[in-house]
């Protein structure tokens, strides 16, 4: 049984989310603002955080940044449909997923299960991949570039490992959502686009002219070793 921290300043939203999560067999914690959520994270060590972006005081993006600065605790953001910039910034800060408001509690529960499953289970078998200046170590979950360790989120590592494990094969965004994120239904594949951009910024000498993660226009992405 996982413990899920639900952070939202609207009691009705918290109540609906908590009921669906408990129906799925999870224990829940609740917080109405960022400061209370941070205290619960430090004292209770939840397994995942469902986090509203718009919070009084410390907002959700600031809290997500704080979480990612100290751990890989999975975070699913709740964002308003019109606030595309919030979703992009949240993913760049290391959020594992986002759900737009208004949302289906059932869909949120499915996403919670998926993120928990992928964060609890090893993404890869033990091993390493050496491609030019890059070294990927699955056992240690580390990436080195010219001997220097790079800071990648869990999902960035998962995506890089998957692409590097299938060199020169083109994968669509939908295929990557299914193979890396575990979602088989049609979802907003902007998540993939953001993670690819972040990976390029970290592993490519010139992210504007990537040599490893290449775009095949109209199709998807491929990894060139």
Please write the tens of the pLDDT for every residue from 47-63: 999 999 989 989 999 99
Is the model more confident about 83 or about 61? Answer: 61
pLDDT score of 121: 56
* pLDDT mean over 65-78: 88
Q: Where are the domains of the chain?
A: 3-120, 128-223
Mean pLDDT (the chain, rounded): 86
* Topology adopted by domain 128-223: Arc Repressor Mutant, subunit A (1.10.10)
**DSSP string of 161-223, one letter each residue:** HHHHHSTT--B-HHHHIIIII---S---THHHHHHHHHHHHHH-SSTTS-SSEEEETTTEEEE
Contacts of 28 (CB under 8 A, 6+ apart): 3, 4, 5, 6, 18, 21, 22
The Cα angle at residue 84 between residues 81 and 86, in degrees rounded to 5: 100
Which of the four pLDDT bands, split at 50, 70 and 90, describes residue 124?
very low
Please write the tens of the pLDDT for every residue from 178-221: 888 776 554 567 788 888 998 999 999 899 999 999 999 989 99
pLDDT score of 64: 92
* Topology adopted by domain 3-120: Rossmann fold (3.40.50)
pLDDT score of 84: 65
pLDDT above 90: percentage of residues in the chain:
45
pLDDT score of 187: 55
pLDDT score of 19: 94
Which of the four pLDDT bands, split at 50, 70 and 90, describes residue 224?
very high
Q: How far is residue 30 from each of residues 13, 36, 39, 40, 196, measured CA to CA in Å?
A: 11, 9, 11, 9, 33
* pLDDT mean over 2-21: 95
Count other Cβ atoms within 10 Å, centred on residue 208: 7
pLDDT score of 114: 85
Contacts of 109 (CB under 8 A, 6+ apart): 20, 21, 23, 24
pLDDT above 70: percentage of residues in the chain:
91
Asked if residue 175 has pLDDT above 60, the reply is yes
């Amino acid at each position: 049984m996982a413990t899920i921290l639900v952070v939202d300043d609207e009691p009705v939203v918290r109540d609906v989310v908590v009921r669906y999560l408990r129906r799925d067999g999870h224990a829940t914690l609740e917080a109405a603002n960022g400061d209370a959520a941070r205290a619960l994270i430090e004292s209770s060590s939840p397994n995942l955080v469902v986090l509203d972006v718009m919070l009084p005081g410390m907002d959700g993006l600031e809290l997500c940044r704080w979480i990612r600065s100290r751990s890989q605790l999975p975070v699913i953001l709740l964002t308003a449909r019109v606030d595309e910039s919030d979703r992009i910034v949240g993913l760049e800060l290391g959020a594992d997923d986002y759900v737009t408001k208004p949302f289906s509690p059932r869909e949120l529960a499915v996403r919670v299960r998926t993120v928990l499953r992928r964060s609890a289970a090893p993404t890869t078998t033990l091993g390493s991949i050496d491609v030019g200046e890059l070294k990927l170590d699955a056992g240690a979950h580390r990436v080195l570039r010219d001997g220097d360790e790079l800071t990648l989120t869990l999902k960035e590592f998962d995506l890089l490992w998957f692409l590097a494990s299938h060199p020169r094969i083109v994968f669509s965004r939908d295929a990557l959502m299914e193979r890396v994120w575990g979602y088989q239904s049609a979802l907003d594949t902007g998540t993939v686009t953001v993670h690819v951009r972040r990976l390029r910024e970290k592993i490519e000498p010139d992210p504007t002219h990537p040599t490893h993660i290449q775009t095949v226009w109209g199709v998807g992405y491929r990894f060139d070793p």
